[in-house]
Amino acid sequence: MMMQNALEMNAVSVVPGAVAPLDLDQLYRRHRLHLLRFVQRYLRNAEDAADVVQSTFVEAARCADRFSGLSKPSTWLFGIALNLARNQVRRNCADLYECVEEGFMEQIADMDADPAKLVELRQTATRVQALFEALPAPIRATFDAVLDGEASYEEAADRLHIPIGTVRSRVSRVRSAMRQECA
């Protein structure tokens, strides 16, 4: 049977200008692994490479009647694989960029990114920090205990061994001074 197929192929190729039909099974067995390694080096992804090799043989079967015989069948096959691998790279690059809905960028844009406003906020923060550092240590300690959320007024009073009214008045004075500085 094999001998008969070989004879038929030789008989067809004897006709001037005719091209022997491609034996895709033989091409697959002979070149699949080499083609897979070639495409893997190009794509650097084993799954995509396997898909491209499979598509290569599908495309080769679909276009086998157009094989002109000007090159070796393996060269033709590798050309198909290279073109499909390039297409896969383009698809992979396109997948990196998601389409976003209209107005999405406005939703995530920082409306406070105005440089002048940022400078003003930094200057205010510097003034408040300087004012806070100028306060007497007992007042700073009271404000720190309440402001950081570590303690309620009652807990701060117990921890600092002062009456709760003193805690309230100190916190109120600091807040008032900060408001005046920021105004």
What per-residue string of b and e applies to 105-141 under the rule 16 or more CB within 10 Å gives b?
Answer: eeeeeeeeeeeeeeeeeeeeeeeeeeebeebeeebbb
- Shared domain for 82 and 121, answered yes or no, is no
Asked whether 79 and 42 are in contact (CB, 8 A), the reply is: no
> What is the full per-residue pLDDT of the chain (183 aa) written as tens digits?
333 443 344 334 444 455 667 888 999 999 999 999 999 999 999 999 999 999 999 999 999 888 888 889 999 999 999 999 999 988 887 766 666 666 666 666 666 677 788 788 888 888 888 888 888 888 888 888 887 767 788 888 888 889 989 989 888 888 888 888 777
Which of 43, 72, 96 is the C-terminal boundary of a domain? 96
- Shared domain for 30 and 83, answered yes or no, is yes
Residue 8 lies in a domain: no
Q: What range defines the domain where residue 116 resides?
A: 110-182
- Shared domain for 23 and 92, answered yes or no, is yes
Residue 135 DSSP SS3: coil
**CATH code (residue 54):** 1.10.1740.10
- Shared domain for 146 and 88, answered yes or no, is no
What pLDDT sits at residue 5? 41
Residue 143 lies in a domain: yes
- Shared domain for 64 and 28, answered yes or no, is yes
Asked whether 124 and 179 are in contact (CB, 8 A), the reply is: no
Residue 1 lies in a domain: no
**CATH code (residue 135):** 1.10.10.10
- Shared domain for 23 and 63, answered yes or no, is yes
What pLDDT sits at residue 15? 45
Q: How many domains does the chain have?
A: 2
